[in-house]
């Protein structure tokens, strides 16, 4: 087996797509969340292959880690359905989702011959030797302000949506 770039790349892409299809088609919600984490891991491998190591590390730690934790806590905070209902929903799901692989195969075959022709890329003034750190801290500092703003908005969102005074109100009602 030749471990050159192209083979590895196509294998990883196929693995990514199959992990995504498994995530969508599996019936149990927790397995779906785990499937999402597996998809993130495969994407990280692709990013490392494309020499985007810093982005790969971010993707692994945040998407495969933090977001999976968010999903699992959301799943556990919401009540799971009863057993008989779950079996019935599972059968209905399989009937609905069986179309997905067929759809993907047809779409893949149709797109097979669409070679998008690229002309020479316009080399902008930026040289290729800048590292990610330089690009992030000096090239795109304005976006960092945007990131700070959105993190603040997220904090306020969690406070607004979760902080309840219900316990205080309940105690007052009991008295």
Partner 1 sequence: MTCEMATFFSVSVIFAVLLVLTALYCILATRNLIRILIGMELMTKAVTLLLAVGGYVSHQMAVAQTYIITLIVLEVVVIAIAAAIVIGSHKHNNDMDAGRMNNLKG
Partner 2 sequence: MPVLLVLVPLAAVLILNLPLHRIMCRFAFWIGVILCLVQALLVIQLPNAVWNGPCQVAIRLLRVTPAVDNLSLVMFLSIAIVTFVTLLVARYTISDCGKLFNFTNLVILAMAGMNGLVMANDLFSLYVFLEVAAVASFILIAFDREKDAFEGTFKYIVMSAVATAMILSAIGLMMTVTGSMSFNVLSSVMKTDGGNPVILLSAALLLGGLFIKSGLIPFHGWLPDAYSAAPSATSVLLAGIVTKTTGVYALIRVVTMMHLHSHTMQTLILVVATLSIVIAAFAALGQSDFKRMLAYSSISQVGYIILGLGVGTPLALAGAAFHLFNHAIFKTLLFVNAATVEKQSGTRNMDTLGGVSDKMPVTGFTSVIAFLSTAGIPPLSGFWSKLIIIVAAWKAGFHWYAFIAILASLLTLAYFLSMQRRVFFGKLASGLEDLKEGNPWVLIPACMLAAITIGLGLCIPWLFGSFLLPIRSIL
Can you spell out the DSSP letters for 16-63?
HHHHHHHHHH-SSHHHHHHHHHHHHHHHHHHHHHTT-HHHHHHIIIII
Residue among 84 and 167 whose Cβ is closer to partner 2: 167
Within 13 Å and on the Cβ side, how many CA atoms surround 141?
3
Q: Work out how close the CB of 102 gets to partner 2 at its nearest, in angstroms, rounded to a whole number.
A: 23
The whole-angstrom separation of Cα 44 and Cα 88 is 36
| Count of residues engaged in binding partner 2, rule: CB under 8 A | 30
Residue 17 interacts, among partner 1, partner 2, none and using kind-specific CB cut-offs from 5 to 8 Å, with: partner 1
Residue in the block written with tokens 């770039």: 5
Selection from partner 1, partner 2, none that 10 binds (CB < 5 to 8 A by kind) is partner 1
Regarding 132 and contact with partner 2 (CB under 8 A), the answer is: no
Rule CB under 8 A: which residues touch partner 2? Answer: 116-119, 121-126, 138-143, 145-150, 152-154, 156-157, 159-161
């Amino acid at each position: 087996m030749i471990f050159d770039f192209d083979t590895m790349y196509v294998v990883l892409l196929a693995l990514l797509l199959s992990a995504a299809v498994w995530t969508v088609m599996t019936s149990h919600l927790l397995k779906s969340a785990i499937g999402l984490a597996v998809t993130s891991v495969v994407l990280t491998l692709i990013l490392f292959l494309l020499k985007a190591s810093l982005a790969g590390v971010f993707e692994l730690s945040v998407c495969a880690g933090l977001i999976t934790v968010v999903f699992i806590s959301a799943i556990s905070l919401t009540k799971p359905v009863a057993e008989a209902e779950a079996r019935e929903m599972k059968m209905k799901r399989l009937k609905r989702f069986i179309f997905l692989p067929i759809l993907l195969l047809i779409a893949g075959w149709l797109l097979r011959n669409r070679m998008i022709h690229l002309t020479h890329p316009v080399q902008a003034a930026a040289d290729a030797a800048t590292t990610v750190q330089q690009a992030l801290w000096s090239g795109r500092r304005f976006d960092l302000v945007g990131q700070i703003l959105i993190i603040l908005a997220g904090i306020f969102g969690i406070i607004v949506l979760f902080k309840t005074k219900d316990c205080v109100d309940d105690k007052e009602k009991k008295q």
